[in-house]
Amino acid sequence: MKLSKKILTWYDNNKRVLPWRISQTSKKNQYYRILSEFMLQQTQVKTVIPYFNNFVKKIPNLKALSKSNEKKILKLWEGLGYYTRAKNLHKTSKILVKKYNGLIPDSFEKLKELPGIGDYTANVLLALIYNQPRVAFDGNVKRVLSRVSNINTDKAVNLFKTKRNGDLAEALMEFGALVCKPKDPKCYECKINTMCAYYSSKSKIKFKRKIKIQSKSYDIFCYLKKSKKQIALTKSNDLGFLKKFNLPKIQKAAKKNKNWKFLCNYKNSISNKKLNLNLYYKFSSKIPSKYNWYSLNKNKEFIPSFTKKIFKQITHLY
Ligand code: SF4
């Protein structure tokens, strides 16, 4: 049996039931696929499922997405992180409705012109929606192919031939996630171990060692208005993360911060950055320009979860 057939047979018997895995002929397929692919960028399947289900309940199709306002979309995205994805998805939906009659184009070049769509997402959408013979190289697929063929991944694509291109693209990702895992691959029960270079050589291929992410230290300064339980936030910060979102003043950690009271130190992770945060505060009714007061309890504007964690730390001060 050919390699692609073996992987597809394994997939048919073992694939997970996921809400965006619906029939290629379903009217919802294009919307479900593009939405899930944006959500799955940098985020695990199990985290995405509840967000996806809630999102399609509130915004059921591409047209509705294109007409939604950004605040609503960011609210539905809240907690999923990497908010640029949500903004790009929104922009893309508008272009699709206006320029492509609400359909996802079937050309790699046209897809790549859309905000938030790179090589990987373009390939995966073409395979899943149009059954084009494309392999989307996410981390799982790269690992499977390099282990199986022991050659570089571009050439490894030639190992596969099938009419079920969409299923194969997904099967390879699923196989990498469930069987050919980064650590302790399930080689003994693997359906393709007789065809696998890694298994037959029993020599471990050297994979790039994961770069250990160093945590960075920042000082956060909160202006607080005691009488009204408010905090001053600004969208004008030039940090590399959470650009143009509502945040207090933040700067790289310095040794001394006179005039500010130290409250606590805590850790947070955002956009694959590990942050070591020192929180300072001062009560004041005057704030610098470009800052606005926000209530800790009620906000009409979108507040990222990074800032909400700060709210939690300071709430007892009032
Ligand atoms: S035999 Fe092991 S290394 Fe090879 S494809 Fe199967 S799980 Fe991966």
Backbone angles phi, psi at 275, to 5 degrees: -115, 135
Does residue 197 sit in the same domain as residue 220? no
Per-residue burial over 164-173, b if 16 or more Cβ lie within 10 Å, else e, is bbbbbbbbbb
> Which own/partner pairs from 258-266 qualify as long-range (CB within 8 Å, at least 24 positions apart)?
260/221, 263/313, 263/314, 263/317, 264/313, 266/309, 266/313
Does residue 253 sit in the same domain as residue 107? no
Say how many Å lie between the CA of residue 184 and the centre of ligand 1.
10
pLDDT digits (tens, 9 = 90+) for 270-297: 767 789 999 999 999 899 999 999 998 8
Does residue 59 sit in the same domain as residue 181? yes
Candidate of 7, 192, 206 to mutate for ligand 1, largest count of ligand atoms within 8 Å of Cβ: 192
- What region does 298 belong to: left with phi over 0, alpha with psi -120 to 50, or beta? beta
Does residue 36 sit in the same domain as residue 163? yes
Structural domain contains residue 52: yes
Backbone angles phi, psi at 115, to 5 degrees: -60, 135
pLDDT digits (tens, 9 = 90+) for 112-133: 999 999 999 999 999 999 999 8
Mean pLDDT in residue range 71-82 = 92
Domain span at 120: 3-201
- For the Cβ of 180 lying below 6 angstroms from any atom of ligand 1, the answer is yes
Say how many Å lie between the CA of residue 188 and the centre of ligand 1.
8
Structural domain contains residue 118: yes
Amino acid at 239: L
Does residue 56 sit in the same domain as residue 157? yes
Q: State the CATH number of the domain containing residue 18.
A: 1.10.340.30
Q: State the CATH number of the domain containing residue 307.
A: 3.90.79.10
Give the 3-state secondary structure of 77-127: HCCCCCCHHHHHHHHHHHHHHHHCCCCCCCCHHHHHCCCCCCHHHHHHHHH
Question: What is the number of structural domains in the chain?
Answer: 2
Structural domain contains residue 222: yes
Of 290, 293, 291, 296, nearest to 309 by C-alpha is: 296
pLDDT digits (tens, 9 = 90+) for 150-204: 766 666 666 777 899 999 999 999 999 999 999 889 998 899 988 898 888 764 4
Cut 0.85: pTM above it: no
Does residue 133 sit in the same domain as residue 75? yes
Does residue 20 sit in the same domain as residue 138? yes
- For the Cβ of 195 lying below 6 angstroms from any atom of ligand 1, the answer is no
Structural domain contains residue 265: yes
Does residue 179 sit in the same domain as residue 220? no
- Helices 70-77 and 84-99 sit at what angle, rounded to 10 degrees? 130
Structural domain contains residue 151: yes
Does residue 28 sit in the same domain as residue 158? yes
Average model confidence (pLDDT) for the chain? 88
Does residue 84 sit in the same domain as residue 186? yes
| Alpha-carbon span 165 to 63, nearest angstrom | 28
Does residue 309 sit in the same domain as residue 179? no
Q: Using CB atoms within 10 A of its CB, is residue 256 exposed (0-12), middle (13-18) or buried (19+)?
A: exposed
Structural domain contains residue 211: no
Does residue 30 sit in the same domain as residue 146? yes
| Alpha-carbon span 216 to 273, nearest angstrom | 8
| Location of structure tokens 């070049």 | 109
